A and B are shown apart, each in its own frame.
Chain A
Amino acid sequence: MSAKPNRVGKKPPQKYSIFSLAHQAMQKHTGWQAAWRSPEPQAEYDVIIVGGGGHGLATAYYLAKETNVGRIAVLEKGWLAGGNTARNTTIIRSNYLCDESAKLYGHAHQLWEGLSQDINYNVMFSPRGVLMLSHNVHDQQVAARHFHALHLNGIESHLLGPEEIQEKVPLLNMHGRYPVLGGLYQPRAGNAHHNALAWGYARAADQMGVDIIENCGVTGFMIKNGVVKGVKTVKGVIRASKVGVVAAGHSSVLAEMAGFKMPLESMPLQAFVSEPVKPCFNTVVMSNSVHVYMSQSDKGELVIGAGSDNYVSYTQRGSFDLTDCTISPLIELYPFVSRLRMLRQWAGIVDITKDRSPIITKTPIENLYFNCGWGTGGFKATPGSGHVFAHSIAAGEMHKIAVPFGMDRFTTGALINEAAAVMH
């Protein structure tokens, strides 16, 4: 089995560097190659990944790089990473409560730190710190509880008082309707560029021979005696020895095609961005009890995350009343924002579990694996999720970090309760 692409007669893939940039500049940038091929699907693969979002692409990348499973394809219904990967507010943090989560999100966080070098693509990972505000006594107790749990798991975080917070975030209104009593700060946290993550993984996976096939929605599975044999797609049947489904909000739809249910509900989660302004906000601030999350992108836009609608919907819109519920505390906390125009509002469909932890799992169908349930906060986990999922698929046994996240926990009751946690 060979993982090498069909590049006969083609130039070797370009490496991005200061030298290639200078070289291209002298040719007036006419020599850049496409970042990935757009091949037609082959009749058969060793592993098919369904869903070309960040998690699917990361899975394919680590499969190609670190295992020897052979021919790999990623099948994407729409365009590359047009789902939640392109729609999220890019907050990256690893300050979760439970031990299992500390391992999973911690693993991802570590991979983020070396990712741009690893995949030779600037993912603009920016550890500018994430601050979670407390507005009432209960928030403060939750923050203290998290702080101690994090301490026990060796994850650096700090409880900040109002003075330290005002100094970090001068534009924050400390004494409004939602007084700022304190906060929990993770200095290693921050954000990154959503598209760069997807494009970087896509390019790196493609260079190792992974076929990334867009506009190739999966419409069914070929299953024989309880074993998956391939997928039906809008481009025809494609056979495979193993299939990994990473379809976020559409996971239940794919599970139904395979004949089982998932413990998930799919709901719209919305966000918006303002017109760009000069740098004024250099950390990520989350207000979990009023569902307002804000950071400033490198282009200068304020990126604002809201809460999720609480009914099942696949409409990718997000309701007006929730927009309103976000804007009113937003301008209480950051009065200067009231003078800014919002450029865009959108929603993604997030797949939510009852314990707010993801599902990385075998399924009732042999050789069919699901990675889903990341809900409102899986962007941060993309590298770790892809890494442990790739190793699980290759080995046929779940990676040790992934084991507690199996769907069997909804039968045994061994839930990983991050429900006290937050969106994003």
Chain B
Amino acid sequence: MFIIDCPWCGARDQSEFSTHGEAHIVRPEDPETVDDTEWGQYVFYRNNVKGWYRERWMHAFGCRRWFNVLRNTASDAIATTYVPGAPRPSLPEDT
């Protein structure tokens, strides 16, 4: 359980948000030309990192807008949140 800083509404309890997995996974431009291996990677394979992880959240019981979170999955500490399209923040130095 943690507090998430919604880029639009500010700090709110995590239970107000829904979570949607790893961020920055791009759907293949032209699915027709992609082979099963690549498609499988896109649909099912995740980095599932123990450490700093960029992921998508949505403020489900608030403004209902999507954004990205940079969170450490080993401690649940959040470094920053950022809106879609914003440059990816670099990983914090320590862990």
Contacts and interface: CB of A to CB of B under 8 A. Distances in A.
A313 B76 contact: yes
Contact of B73 (A262, A310, A313): A313
A319 interface: yes
Contacts of A262: 45, 48
Contacts of B48: 252, 261-262, 264-266, 312
Given A321-B14, A411-B36, A411-B37, A261 B53 contact: no
A262 B47 CA distance: 8
A261 B76 contact: no
B21 to A, nearest CB: 7
Interface in A307-366: 310-315, 317, 319-321, 353-354
Interface in B22-55: 22, 36-37, 40-41, 43-50, 53, 55
B90 interface: no
A320 B1 contact: yes
Interface string B60-95: 000000000000011110000000000000000000
Contacts of A252: 46-50
A313 B19 CA distance: 12
B83 to A, nearest CB: 19
A265 B1 contact: no
B47 A412 contact: no
Interface residues of B, number: 26
A253 interface: yes
Contacts of B49: 252, 256, 312
Contacts of B18: 310
A321 B44 contact: no
A413 interface: yes
Interface string A212-252: 00000000000000000000000000000000000000101
A311 B44 CA distance: 15
Contacts of A313: 73, 76
Contacts of A317: 1, 76
Interface of A: 250, 252-253, 256, 261-266, 310-315, 317, 319-321, 353-354, 410-413
Given A312-B22, A317-B76, 19 more contacts: A250-B50, A261-B46, A262-B45, A263-B40, A264-B46, A265-B48, A266-B73, A311-B19, A312-B21, A312-B53, A313-B76, A315-B73, A321-B1, A321-B13, A354-B44, A410-B43, A410-B44, A411-B36, A412-B36
